[in-house]
Amino acid sequence: MSAQTELHQTGTDDAAPAAGTSVTTVYQVKGMTCGHCEGAVASELGELDGVSSVRAAAASGQVTVVSAAPLDEEAVRAAVDEAGYELVGRA
């Protein structure tokens, strides 16, 4: 069983013009080893515009992001870097 941290945001999602549509992207992040790491990455990514949920799993290094539209990879990279980890790319 792997530990995972999930962050859900509410508010702006309900006002999205295309209700019910979302984009799910899985990223590979290097350096996460624990629940604190998962939380730091999830928190930073959750602040990006359009993100409705983030699920990070240190065991696999994968972070699943659900957003209203595709995210700019440089913005994702900057958020992961701000958390203190390295974005490898899409999983």
Query: CA 38 to CA 34: how far, in whole Å?
Result: 6
pLDDT digits (tens, 9 = 90+) for 44-81: 999 999 999 999 999 999 999 999 999 999 999 999 99
Encoded tokens for 68 = 């209203």
* Mean pLDDT, the chain, whole residue set: 87
Range of the structural domain that residue 34 is part of:
5-12+21-90
Residue 13 is classified by DSSP as: G
* Domain CATH number, residue 37: 3.30.70.100
Q: Which residue is associated with the tokens 């962050």? A: 7
Output the CA–CA distances (angstroms, integers) from residue 1 to 25, 29, 60, in the order listed: 22, 19, 11
Give, in degrees to the nearest 5, the angle at Cα 16 between 21 and 22: 20
User: How many domains are there within the chain?
Assistant: 1
Q: Is the pTM above the cut of 0.95?
A: no
Q: Do 57 and 4 contact (CB within 8 A), yes or no? A: yes
Say how many C-beta atoms besides its own lie within 10 A of residue 48's C-beta: 17
The predicted structure's pLDDT at residue 90: 97
